């Protein structure tokens, strides 16, 4: 009877056996993100599609080497993300890893990539630690981080006249750093922070917190939370009439969130985004292709997935090899110019710096076609949005 | 006799495994197998269902991680700190929970574990919050054996797990273990025989917590980080599933259950892609996103027709085949 | 006037909001209490079925052009039927076993149901507006109360009290209670106990579906919406005393108020305070506040 169990164990082990592959003949891109949990829509399978588009656009092969793509769902567990990353580097010959959502998973993957001396491009993580305390020579943080969101939103809104703020913050590191960075900026831009309240993550009811916000008399309600929390906050804000007296400033809102709420509830809300599908001809052209496959317009993250993969492949082609150090040097030496960013720069600390945009959500009457949600209020130049050299905690950039 | 051969074969496979499979993944499997066995000590042999085992598993990881990374302790002491922390939390939790029976015992463990989770979430400096505690070094075993080699580390982890498993086997077959079994089967009778059942239950609880802590601490060293996932109530649920699938109350069951469930979590996507390539059916590629659904299906099937778990069913089958 | 540094109108408004949330908790835990109290089944799929109710309401409005009020009746019915199917095919085999197996089975069902919805609809949520008749808000002086929330309180309390009344005070309820305590005896009287049990389970989950429709306009309608609430709802039922309907109703209301106050004084803890209360209550009263130790 024990024999049976052992047979099973052997069978199980056999499936884990090494597919030792030499990466010499292929350029292999790996993609690990959340495909089934909270962050499915803003990245997920759409991100994988975007990367496949980039590979197709590069012709499917580079100087004779075939380009391969492999993806996995980390289910929001850093354990799985790190194990998979490790396994892919050691056994699947992955040359470059793109990290999707979830900061904890990205931080773990970045460490693995640095250990294996492979390039890791983080797209979906918000944590600025990736280019500060945890920076490595192999990490690139591509689309956004909490500092850029905070500075974009904080400074630009104060300039628009929103001087008094109250924050509703999700009680975890991400929310807290969003609140702190935005507060700092609001104060330095001449505004005032009248108070804040921290709510537990995934709270289902925000009415009490909103009442406290309203009681403060501030003009702007800063939502230092994301995803479901942000959506429920906005729903409740409308319900309780908070939106009549205060303007909402969503510190991390994706177009999918606005889509699920509808313009009735989100009109007039401020938010910062790194990219918008309807911004110009280039973005529209690419988004049309994306829409044909996914039936939704892409978010900033999905566009960034495409851009990161595309630029990596361009660098490999230019350098003539997939050697991480050489490719990284090329990436840091050349600007990023594509439909995602104009004059984007990858700094020594790994931060990809590009312009951010302060958006205001359109009124239902102003929206002419599906997904026509935003008007661009201000462009925040990259070097103002992200942390500067003076502030950096990265030892590589001193 | 059969059992000894079984264990020897399993051990042989375990020793050969890292040369065929992937050492880090196998080490992770071992840690979860130990976690499941530790949990089983409580439910399978003492009859106490704890919904809060993640608290010991995760917090031990955090304590060990901090010990190794921030307090500069060597490998063995770091693990010891983790185990001590887990045992202490187990002592506190157990002391409160033991006072109640059945579902109320379980709910108290859940409630206390939730409070531990809250503490972990807020203790940003210690745990790193949702970013996790990153960069835990492996160090050296006894100052001599360098653990940065994955295969070396695997054997050390294997050693730890074998010793822990031996401890569990010894405990179950000891007089202490017999009393636990008696408590599980008929507590009032055990009391009437003069046993201080509360003390026995508490001891079993702390032992289970300490071993779960060992698993958590070891896993943290293997992977090099610790996150809130390991203190969340879904982790407690996962270990219940592993034990159920493998066979509650059997010694080898939980190990098998852990292997199956962890393999599923990590490999389902790969298997889906494999199936898609082999059969040409595109849909298989999307299985990787359906881990939760597959786990749900397994729960349902196990509960309806497979209640004794895999090992349990085989034991029953073997029992039936014996000549009368 | 100030209490602990907070102005009185603020405290009053938080208390009122607490009652609103509390009535919702009571509504949500009612189905769970009915199923555990009468059938001894720990129905972990309550959260997923609550979500199903909300989703069905959205689907009815989106695909069939029905309105909120129609769905308020229809969605719980459909969820109830689904529950009946689950009970007949799977759950009834587990009644003689330990509680654990019912819990694990329903947990598996949760994962399956949530997974299926997620694979079709993603997790961003579906837009759901407050129905016309209940839109707007009323100024109560110390705060502005949205009319819809007032409706939630009304509907919850009506349903909760009627359910309690039927189960505790009517003949039908007596049959139900007797039937689960001593099925053989009650069957001997000619009453179809298995049918009653099935319908009871269906009713319990229909209550979850009803709560889902109530929640849809104010909470994001997405496949994982039940996940956060399920363990809180469990805590409510346990604190109230598993098996006591009035216990869960009162505990739900009390918890809403306690949470509301916590949101003022220590907001970060407001999602965890229920567990602290549970530990304290269970240590002082072994079977919960109104439960009977079995």
SS (H, E, C) C203-256: HHHHHHHHHHHHHCCCCCECCCCCHHHHHHHHHHHHHHCCCCHHHHHHHHHHHH
Counted across chains A and C, CB pairs separated by less than 8 A come out at: 107
Residue A17 has pLDDT above 50, yes or no: no
Q: What is the mean pLDDT of residues A334-343?
A: 92
pLDDT on residue A4: 42
Confidence grade of residue A309 (pLDDT, cut at 50, 70, 90)? very high
pLDDT on residue C168: 86
Segment holding B173, helix H or strand E: helix B150-173
Task: Name the residue facing C268 among A40, A200, A236 (closest C-beta).
Answer: A200
Chain C: residue nearest B307 by CA? C101
Q: What is the mean pLDDT of residues C203-230?
A: 90
Mutate to test the interface with A, among C125, C222, C262, C269 (most CBs of A within 10 A): C125
pLDDT on residue C1: 63
pLDDT on residue A41: 87
Residue A192, phi then psi, degrees to nearest 5: -130, 145
Residue C231 has pLDDT above 70, yes or no: yes
Residue C131 has pLDDT above 60, yes or no: yes
Look up residue A41 and give its two tokens: 């829509």
Q: Give residue A68's Cα distance to chain centre.
A: 23
Q: List pLDDT tens digits, range A220-238.
A: 999 998 888 899 999 999 8
pLDDT on residue B276: 81
B267/A16 CB distance under 8 A: yes
| Most confident by average pLDDT, B33-37, B123-127, C67-71 | B33-37
| Most confident by average pLDDT, A42-46, A260-264, B31-35 | B31-35
Q: What is the mean pLDDT of residues C53-72?
A: 91
pLDDT on residue A24: 64
B227/A79 CB distance under 8 A: yes
Residue A1 has pLDDT above 60, yes or no: no
Contacts of B20 in chain A (CB under 8 A): 13-14, 16-18
Q: What is the mean pLDDT of residues C142-169?
A: 89
Distance, CA of B22 to CA of B24 (rounded, Å): 6
Residue B241 has pLDDT above 50, yes or no: yes
pLDDT > 70 fraction of chain A, expressed in percent and rounded: 94
Helix segments in C45-143, DSSP class H = 46-63, 68-89, 99-121
What pTM was computed for the model? 0.88
C112/B300 CB distance under 8 A: yes
pLDDT on residue C40: 78
Q: List pLDDT tens digits, range A176-195.
A: 888 998 998 899 888 999 99
Q: List pLDDT tens digits, range C170-197.
A: 888 888 888 777 878 888 888 888 888 8
Of C93 and B205, the one with more pLDDT: B205
Residue B106 has pLDDT above 70, yes or no: yes
**Beta carbons within 8 Å of B244's beta carbon, 6+ residues apart:** B257, B299, B302, B303, B309, C104
CA dihedral A199, A205, A207, A209 (to 10 degrees): 0
Confidence grade of residue A2 (pLDDT, cut at 50, 70, 90)? very low
B229/A201 CB distance under 8 A: no
Q: List pLDDT tens digits, range A268-287.
A: 999 999 999 999 999 999 99
Distance, CA of C226 to CA of C28 (rounded, Å): 11
Residue A18 has pLDDT above 50, yes or no: no
Residue A387 has pLDDT above 50, yes or no: yes
Contacts of B227 in chain A (CB under 8 A): 77-79, 104, 108
Confidence grade of residue A16 (pLDDT, cut at 50, 70, 90)? very low
| Residue C56 forms contact with B (CB below 8 Å) | no
C108/B298 CB distance under 8 A: yes
The alpha-carbon gap from B99 to the nearest alpha carbon of chain A, in Å, equals 30
Mean pLDDT of chain B: 89
Residue C3 has pLDDT above 80, yes or no: no
Of B302 and C73, the one with more pLDDT: C73
Closest CA to C41 of C247, C186, C180, C174: C180
Helix, strand, coil distribution of chain A in percent, nearest 5:
45, 20, 35
A260/C220 CB distance under 8 A: yes
pLDDT on residue A10: 47
Task: Spell A348-382 as b/e; 16+ CB within 10 A means b.
Answer: ebbbbbbbbbbbbbbeeeebeeebebbeebbebeb
Confidence grade of residue A20 (pLDDT, cut at 50, 70, 90)? very low
Look up residue A180 and give its two tokens: 């702190």
Residue B85 has pLDDT above 90, yes or no: yes
Residue A240, phi then psi, degrees to nearest 5: -90, 10
ipTM of the complex: 0.85
Chain C: residue nearest A235 by CA? C218
Tokens 């498993």 belong to residue: B165
Q: What is the mean pLDDT of residues A33-38?
A: 86
Residue A7 has pLDDT above 60, yes or no: no
Distance, CA of B71 to CA of B65 (rounded, Å): 9
The alpha-carbon gap from C13 to the nearest alpha carbon of chain A, in Å, equals 8
Chain B: residue nearest A16 by CA? B21
Distance, CA of A40 to CA of B289 (rounded, Å): 10
Helix, strand, coil distribution of chain B in percent, nearest 5:
80, 0, 20
Q: List pLDDT tens digits, range B274-290.
A: 888 888 777 777 777 77
Distance, CA of A143 to CA of A156 (rounded, Å): 19
pLDDT on residue C143: 79
Residue B322 has pLDDT above 60, yes or no: no
Pairing of β A139-141 and β A119-122: parallel
Residue B86 has pLDDT above 90, yes or no: yes
Distance, CA of B85 to CA of B60 (rounded, Å): 6
| Residue C130 forms contact with A (CB below 8 Å) | yes
pLDDT on residue C194: 85
pLDDT on residue C293: 57
pLDDT on residue B323: 59
Confidence grade of residue B321 (pLDDT, cut at 50, 70, 90)? low
pLDDT on residue A9: 47
Tell me the residue ranges of DSSP E strands in A124-277.
139-141, 164-170, 192-199, 220-224, 247-250, 270-273
Distance, CA of B3 to CA of B16 (rounded, Å): 20
Residue B249 has pLDDT above 90, yes or no: no
pLDDT on residue B220: 95
Q: What is the mean pLDDT of residues B8-34?
A: 89
| Residue B283 forms contact with C (CB below 8 Å) | no
pLDDT on residue B1: 58
Residue B148 has pLDDT above 90, yes or no: no
B96/C272 CB distance under 8 A: no
The sign of the dihedral angle between the CA atoms of C261, C266, C268, C274 is: negative
Confidence grade of residue A38 (pLDDT, cut at 50, 70, 90)? confident
Counted across chains A and B, CB pairs separated by less than 8 A come out at: 148
Residue A12 has pLDDT above 70, yes or no: no
With H, G, I as helix, E, B as strand and everything else as coil, classify residue C292.
coil
């Amino acid at each position: 009877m024990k024999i049976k169990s052992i047979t099973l164990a052997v069978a199980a082990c056999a499936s884990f056996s090494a597919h030792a592959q030499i990466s010499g003949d292929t350029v292999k891109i790996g993609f690990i993100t959340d495909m089934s949990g909270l962050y499915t829509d803003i990245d997920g399978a759409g991100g994988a599609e975007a990367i496949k588009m980039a590979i197709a656009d590069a012709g499917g092969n580079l100087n004779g080497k075939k380009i391969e793509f492999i993806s996995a769902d980390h289910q929001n567990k850093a354990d799985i993300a790190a194990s998979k990353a490790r396994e892919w580097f050691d056994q699947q010959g992955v040359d470059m890893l793109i990290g999707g959502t979830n900061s904890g998973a990205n931080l773990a993957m970045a460490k693995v990539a640095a250990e294996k001396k492979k390039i890791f491009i983080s797209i979906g993580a918000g944590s600025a630690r990736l280019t500060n305390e945890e920076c490595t020579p192999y990490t690139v943080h591509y689309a956004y981080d909490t500092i850029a969101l905070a500075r974009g939103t904080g400074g630009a809104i104060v300039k628009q006249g929103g001087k008094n703020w109250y924050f509703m913050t999700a009680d975890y590191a991400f929310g807290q750093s969003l609140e702190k960075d935005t507060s700092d900026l609001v104060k330095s831009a001449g505004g005032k922070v009248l108070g804040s309240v921290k709510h537990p993550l995934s709270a289902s009811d925000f009415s009490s917190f909103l009442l406290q916000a309203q009681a403060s008399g501030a003009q702007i309600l800063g939502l230092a939370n994301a995803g479901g929390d942000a959506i429920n906050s906005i729903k409740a804000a409308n319900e309780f009439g908070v939106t009549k007296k205060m303007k909402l400033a969503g510190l991390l809102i994706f177009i999918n969130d606005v889509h699920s709420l509808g313009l009735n509830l989100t009109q007039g809300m401020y938010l910062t985004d790194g990219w918008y599908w309807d911004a110009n001809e280039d973005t529209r052209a690419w988004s049309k292709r994306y829409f044909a496959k996914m039936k939704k317009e892409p978010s900033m993250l999905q566009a960034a997935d495409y851009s990161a993969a595309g630029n990596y492949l361009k660098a490999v082609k230019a350098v003539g090899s997939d050697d991480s150090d050489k490719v990284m040097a090329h990436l840091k030496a050349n600007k990023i110019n594509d439909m995602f960013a104009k004059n984007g720069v990858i700094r020594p600390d790994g931060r990809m710096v590009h312009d951010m945009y302060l958006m205001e959500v359109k009124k239902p009457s102003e929206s002419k076609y599906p997904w026509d949600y935003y008007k661009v209020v201000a462009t925040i130049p990259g070097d103002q949005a992200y942390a500067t050299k003076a502030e950096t905690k990265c030892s590589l950039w001193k | 006799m059969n059992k000894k051969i079984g264990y020897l074969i399993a051990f042989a496979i375990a020793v050969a495994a890292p040369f065929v499979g992937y050492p880090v993944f196998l080490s992770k499997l071992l840690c979860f197998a130990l976690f499941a066995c530790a949990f089983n000590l409580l439910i399978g042999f003492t009859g106490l269902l704890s919904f809060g085992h993640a608290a010991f598993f995760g917090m031990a990881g955090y304590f060990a991680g901090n010990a190794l990374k921030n307090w500069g302790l060597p490998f063995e002491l770091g693990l010891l700190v983790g185990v001590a922390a887990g045992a202490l939390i187990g002592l506190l939790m157990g002391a409160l929970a033991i006072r109640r029976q059945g579902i109320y015992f379980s709910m108290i463990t859940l409630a206390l574990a939730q409070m531990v989770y809250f503490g972990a979430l807020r203790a940003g400096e210690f745990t790193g919050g949702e970013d996790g505690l990153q960069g835990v070094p492996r160090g050296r075993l006894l100052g001599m054996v360098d653990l940065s080699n994955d295969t070396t580390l695997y054997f050390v982890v294997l050693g730890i797990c074998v010793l822990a498993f031996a401890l569990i086997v010894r405990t179950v077959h000891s007089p202490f273990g017999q009393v636990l079994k008696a408590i599980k089967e008929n507590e009032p009778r055990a009391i009437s025989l003069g046993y201080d059942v509360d003390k026995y239950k508490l001891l079993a609880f702390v032992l289970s917590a300490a071993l779960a802590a060992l698993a958590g601490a070891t896993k943290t060293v293997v992977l090099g980080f610790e996150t809130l996932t390991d203190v969340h109530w879904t982790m407690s649920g996962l270990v219940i599933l592993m034990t159920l699938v493998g066979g509650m109350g059997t010694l080898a069951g939980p190990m098998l259950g852990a292997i199956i469930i962890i393999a599923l979590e990590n490999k389902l996507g790969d298997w889906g892609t494999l199936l898609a390539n082999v059969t040409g059916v595109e849909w298989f590629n999307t299985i990787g996103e359906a881990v939760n659904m597959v786990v749900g299906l397994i729960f349902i099937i196990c509960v309806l027709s497979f209640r004794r778990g895999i090992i349990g069913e085989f034991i029953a089958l073997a029992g039936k085949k014996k000549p009368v | 006037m100030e209490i602990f540094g907070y102005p009185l109108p603020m405290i009053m408004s938080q208390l009122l909001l607490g009652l609103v949330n509390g009535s919702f908790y009571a509504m949500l835990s009612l189905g769970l209490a009915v199923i555990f109290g009468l059938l001894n089944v720990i129905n972990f799929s309550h959260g997923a079925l609550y979500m199903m109710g909300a989703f069905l309401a959205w689907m009815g409005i989106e695909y069939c052009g029905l309105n909120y009020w129609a769905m308020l009746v229809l969605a719980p019915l459909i969820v109830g039927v689904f529950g009946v199917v689950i009970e007949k095919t799977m759950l009834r085999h587990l009644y003689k076993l330990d509680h654990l197996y019912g819990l694990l089975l329903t947990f598996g069902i949760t994962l399956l149901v949530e997974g299926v919805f997620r694979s079709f609809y993603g997790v961003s949520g579906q837009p759901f507006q407050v129905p016309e008749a209940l839109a707007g808000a009323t100024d109560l002086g110390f705060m502005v109360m949205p009319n819809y929330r007032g409706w939630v309180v009304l509907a919850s309390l009506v349903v909760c009290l009627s359910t309690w009344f039927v189960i505790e005070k009517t003949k039908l309820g007596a049959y139900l209670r007797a039937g689960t305590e001593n099925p053989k005896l009650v069957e001997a009287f000619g009453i179809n106990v298995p049918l009653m049990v099935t319908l009871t389970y269906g009713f319990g989950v229909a209550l979850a579906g009803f709560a889902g429709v109530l929640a849809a306009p104010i909470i994001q309608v997405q496949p994982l919406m039940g996940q956060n609430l399920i363990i809180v709802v469990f805590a409510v039922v346990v604190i109230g005393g598993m098996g006591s309907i009035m216990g869960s109703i009162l505990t739900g209301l009390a918890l809403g108020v306690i949470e509301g106050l916590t949101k003022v004084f220590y907001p970060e803890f407001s999602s965890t305070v229920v567990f602290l209360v549970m530990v304290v209550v269970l240590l002082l009263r072994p079977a919960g506040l109104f439960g009977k130790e079995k």
